Amino acid sequence: MSALFILIFISSIPAIAAFLWFRLARYPFSVTLFSAALLAGAVSFFPALLFQYAFPAGSGIFQISGKWGLFAEIFIRIALTEELSRFLILLILFSVIHRAAGKPVSAMANAAGLVAGLGFAILESAVYGASSPVNALLRAFTAAPLHGACGSRVASSVVLLREHPVQGLFRFLSAVTVHGVYNFMLNMPGRFPPIAAVLIAISALVSAIQVIRSEMKAEDKP
């Protein structure tokens, strides 16, 4: 149990850092919105599990042996289902915010998606810590940046999909691709060192942070 709490604490550090960043930057991202996005991300973990249980490993297209079976498992059964789950929950969250505040959340969508991804990572780290302690530490350090970056991309796709469907679809597929490549590198340790997956997660997170920083500067303009 103590090891599990340590893993949860480690995976929570990026969320704490994001909260402090918003406060120090005086970004008008309220504590309520931060908490709602974090909770939404954690909740999105459960639809992803349902999708994956609906299409268990070794059934359907996942019965294919060799590299195509591994591709289907990593990119479709895992990455696609998790990002689709995140998309649906963020769509609901943004609709609720729009109705409650009377204005769209597009200006802060990337920040909300980042926080939601971090919430997903916290719950996922707890589950991995309980089921696979050997790999849990690596995922605790790298899964949070990955899910934060992918969450930001998915949130952007939610906002773009109605008026710019091509761009929205591209943003969603880019999240699936980044997620899939990360998982692929972790599952092929003989071909790719774990540092490669870490670099993928960090570079994707840096890209998401740059987008959010540009949104912060836009908010500061009169």
pLDDT at position 132: 64
Q: What is the reported pTM? A: 0.89
Q: Which long-range contacts link 32-39 to residues 24+ away (Cβ below 8 Å)?
A: 33/97, 33/108, 33/112, 34/115, 36/93, 36/97, 37/93, 37/111, 37/112, 37/113, 37/115, 37/116, 37/119, 38/115, 38/116, 38/118, 38/119, 39/119
- pLDDT per residue over 138-169, tens digit each? 666 778 899 999 999 999 999 999 889 999 99
pLDDT at position 129: 66
110 pLDDT band, cuts 50/70/90, is very high
pLDDT at position 165: 94
Say yes or no to pLDDT of 68 above 90.
no
pLDDT at position 170: 96
pLDDT at position 41: 96
Q: Is 26 left (phi over 0), alpha (psi -120 to 50) or beta?
A: left
Please count the residues of the chain.
222
Nearest CA among 184, 183, 175, 180 for reference residue 204? 175
Average pLDDT over residues 122-131: 77
Mean pLDDT (the chain) is 86
Alpha helices in 76-132 (DSSP H): 81-101, 109-131
The neighbour count for residue 202, using CB atoms within 10 Å, is 14
Nearest CA among 137, 155, 140 for reference residue 41? 155
- pLDDT per residue over 11-34, tens digit each? 888 899 999 999 999 998 999 999
